Amino acid sequence: MTAGKSARTFADRLLDWYDVHGRRDLPWQHPRTPYRVWISEIMLQQTQVATVIPYFERWMTAFPDLPALANAGEDDVLAHWSGLGYYARARNILKAARTCMEQNDGRLPEGADELAGLPGIGRSTANAIVSQASDRPAAVLDGNVRRVLARHTATAGWTGSAKVQKTLWQEAEDRLPAKHGADYTQAVMDLGALVCTRGKPACPKCPVADDCQALRKGLVDKLPTPKPRGRVGRKTLRMLIARDTNGRVLLEKRPGAGIWGGLWCLPEAKPDHQGFQAMRELPALEHRLSHLQLTIEPLLARPAEGGQIADSADRGWFDRREQARLGLPKPVSDLLDRLDKGEFT
């Protein structure tokens, strides 16, 4: 599609649809500040709105503005992110907030190029912040929008490839309205989330179905082209669940790089289990990461008599109340919940 009447028609139809069917009561829309939009956009990457809402509301209670976030500790930030996955995103949010405090008087930059220079903010997220917070039209290309445009233009090829993305960015730019940037951005994302869904799209309800090329050509169920299948690795982690006489659990902070970087986790069991006794194997559990299938083999233990395992900066004994303030991977949190319920006694 080229710029002109057809592009304006796409935007006009979409805005008319949004006036009736769009989502207008999302928590980050009231108020729709740059900070709130930014946090919501990062949380919404590869995560559905219904899942994000409670996380967003808890986050805003703890970190209501950028200075509050910048002054928070990494453990506190990761604790409020725990369960969303992709923990590097939370660490990048914290880095970006501190950068803004140092270089931009505690505010997010107003321009998309400056925003995209911050850790964890790419072109689409930067444009989403600009369009929704200032109402200036700016093209976005998140997963929902890629699907809408790939179908509407019948563009084949994986939407994550550089070639296809270049085509879709141009299509996204061509469709921008002259005004109402905030509504249009939300509308095109809503269209993908509510109508032009991955499975069983509701084409009869689509406001731009009349000139959808995938619909005309019978390609709706074939587009967008699936991502080429990559090799999924497998890894086994033997985790030690060690409890002291006060009921506290031993946790260690993982290195910044690798699986669950920077999060607090159950220690990986060593072959000799030095310092522990009464080992008992618990049923294994499976956990899927984006690129890795994990098998977690928990082992229940207690410190050996006379043995001492001292606290340090990256290791310590934590009770249930203290655990709640740490960033924990979901499978570790689940194991601790089961331990707290007495399932492993």
Residues designated as active site: 41
Asked if the peptide bond before residue 271 counts as cis, ω within 30 degrees of 0, the response is: no
Instruction: Please state, in angstroms and rounded to a whole number, the distance separating the CA atoms of residues 5 and 26.
Output: 31
Instruction: Please state, in angstroms and rounded to a whole number, the distance separating the CA atoms of residues 95 and 92.
Output: 5
> CB count, 10 Å around CB of 329?
24
> CB count, 10 Å around CB of 73?
10
Contact 228, 160 (CB under 8 A): no
Bridge partners (DSSP) listed for residue 253: 264
Coil, helix or strand at residue 138: coil
Task: 2-5: list long-range contacts, CB under 8 Å, 24+ apart.
Answer: 2/174, 3/173, 3/174
Strands 285-288 and 264-265: unpaired
Instruction: Please state, in angstroms and rounded to a whole number, the distance separating the CA atoms of residues 255 and 248.
Output: 22
Nearest to 343 by CA among 313, 298, 302, 312: 298
Instruction: Please state, in angstroms and rounded to a whole number, the distance separating the CA atoms of residues 227 and 48.
Output: 19
Instruction: Please state, in angstroms and rounded to a whole number, the distance separating the CA atoms of residues 188 and 145.
Output: 6
